[in-house]
């Protein structure tokens, strides 16, 4: 475990430097970029090590795993849900997490709104866009996004704060560029109680490029914690 902790420390320092460099190249400051640690299959000891290094935001992919680990994390650290979410599991997240990033359809937003109303809160969300049109991935299409955004923005217990995407793995940056253009276009839509301030884009393999194309929240797991062990 000692070697693993040291590796997380070294990885964190390297990634932080690369984020800073990419931010400057995109005309922003390092402080403009949120560095999320994605914790799928990662032991709480390693997650807490990352928090001690400076991580201030966690990303969870699975509701059941989140429930089993959340009490072991450093108290007060905010958590976003970033995985595919079934409507019947929304109730386990509302009131516990900062934001749901993976809202990919109207019915899911409706269930979030309903559960948030029970807690008398307004739940922050991002709308997930399938920018590459991949059958294997969920998300709204760029074409349906404007109309769905308008419908979701009317929900009293939901606040849309921006967009999230997982572009196709490719050295070609056209999907990153297309997502940046879509984000800027969507920001121009004037809707009440809609911030549209976050573009969550970029993971372990492409976070530096994503920052150069406007991302201000990168979701990094294996580059920080090492390759995932799905046998755990």
Q: Within a domain: residue 231?
A: no
Q: Where are the alpha helices (DSSP H) in the chain?
A: 2-25, 44-53, 63-69, 106-118, 145-153, 174-187, 207-212, 222-225
Residue 37, in any domain of the structure: yes
What is the separation of C-alpha 26 from the centre of its chain, rounded to a whole number of angstroms? 20
Helix (H) or strand (E) holding 41: none
- Sequential pLDDT tens for the chain (232 residues): 767 999 999 999 999 999 999 999 999 999 999 999 999 999 999 999 999 999 999 999 999 999 999 999 999 999 999 999 999 999 999 999 999 999 999 999 999 999 999 999 999 999 999 999 999 899 999 999 999 999 999 999 999 999 999 999 888 899 999 999 999 999 999 898 888 999 999 999 999 999 999 999 999 999 999 987 766 5
The model's pTM: 0.95
Instruction: Determine, yes or no, domain membership for 148.
Output: yes
Domain count, the chain: 1
Query: Which tokens is 55 given?
Result: 């991580």
Q: Is residue 232 in some structural domain? A: no
Range of the domain at 81: 2-225
CB 38 within 8 A of CB 46: no
Residue 125 belongs to a domain: yes
Give the CATH number of the domain where residue 179 resides.
3.20.20.10
230, part of any domain: no
């Amino acid at each position: 475990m000692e070697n693993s902790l040291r590796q997380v420390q070294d990885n964190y320092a390297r990634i932080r430097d690369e984020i800073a460099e990419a931010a400057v190249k995109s005309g922003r400051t390092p402080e403009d970029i949120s560095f999320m640690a994605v914790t799928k299959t990662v032991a709480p000891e390693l997650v807490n090590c990352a928090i001690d290094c400076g991580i201030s935001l966690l990303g969870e992919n699975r509701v059941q795993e989140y429930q089993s680990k959340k009490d072991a994390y450093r108290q007060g650290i905010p958590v976003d849900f970033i995985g595919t979410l079934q409507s019947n599991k929304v109730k386990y997240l509302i009131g516990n997490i900062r934001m749901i990033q993976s809202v990919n359809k109207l019915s899911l937003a409706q269930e979030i709104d309903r559960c948030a109303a029970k807690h008398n809160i307004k739940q922050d969300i991002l709308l997930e866009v399938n920018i590459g049109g991949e059958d294997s991935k969920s998300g709204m299409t760029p074409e349906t996004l404007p109309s769905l955004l308008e419908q979701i923005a009317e929900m009293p217990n939901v606040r849309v704060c921006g967009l999230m995407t997982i572009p196709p793995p490719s050295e070609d940056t056209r999907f990153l560029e297309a997502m940046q253009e879509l984000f800027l276009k969507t920001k121009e839509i004037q809707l009440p109680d809609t911030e549209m301030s976050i573009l969550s884009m970029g993971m372990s393999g492409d976070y530096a490029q994503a920052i150069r194309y406007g991302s201000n929240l990168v979701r990094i797991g294996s580059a920080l914690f090492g390759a995932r062990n799905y046998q755990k």
